[in-house]
């Protein structure tokens, strides 16, 4: 089955399903879902792939929030290096 962009109800249904799935997975993590490591230890880990999916989904759907002062997003923003700084070393050989 192929969804066409001209069928907004089907596209909306897919977006709703994806959003609900992401919400459920994030809620499961918040409620203490544990992941077993190779050594048998159980830890509470947020899967990086899930975070990437959520970010991409929000971005692709035009959901954006500026980093307001004093929020965790603002703290993360300030912690990021300034890549325009001459002191940042290139990752590739020139």
Residue 1 has pLDDT above 50, yes or no: no
Burial tier of 89 (Cβ tally within 10 Å: 0-12, 13-18, 19+): exposed
Strand spans (E) along the chain? 35-36, 42-43
pTM score of the predicted model: 0.56
Query: How many CA atoms lie less than 13 Å away from 4 in the CB half-sphere?
Result: 2
pLDDT tens digits, one per residue of 15-29: 888 888 888 888 887
Residue 87 has pLDDT above 80, yes or no: no
pLDDT tens digits, one per residue of 25-71: 888 878 887 777 778 888 777 778 888 888 898 889 888 878 789 88
């Amino acid at each position: 089955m192929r969804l066409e962009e001209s069928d907004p109800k089907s596209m909306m249904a897919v977006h709703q399903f994806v959003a609900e799935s992401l919400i459920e997975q994030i809620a499961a993590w918040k409620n203490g879902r544990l992941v077993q490591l190779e050594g048998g230890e159980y830890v509470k880990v947020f899967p990086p792939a899930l975070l990437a999916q959520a970010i991409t989904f929000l971005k692709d759907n035009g959901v954006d929030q500026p980093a307001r002062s004093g929020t965790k997003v603002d703290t993360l923003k300030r912690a990021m290096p300034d890549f325009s700084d001459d002191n940042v070393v290139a990752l590739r050989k020139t």
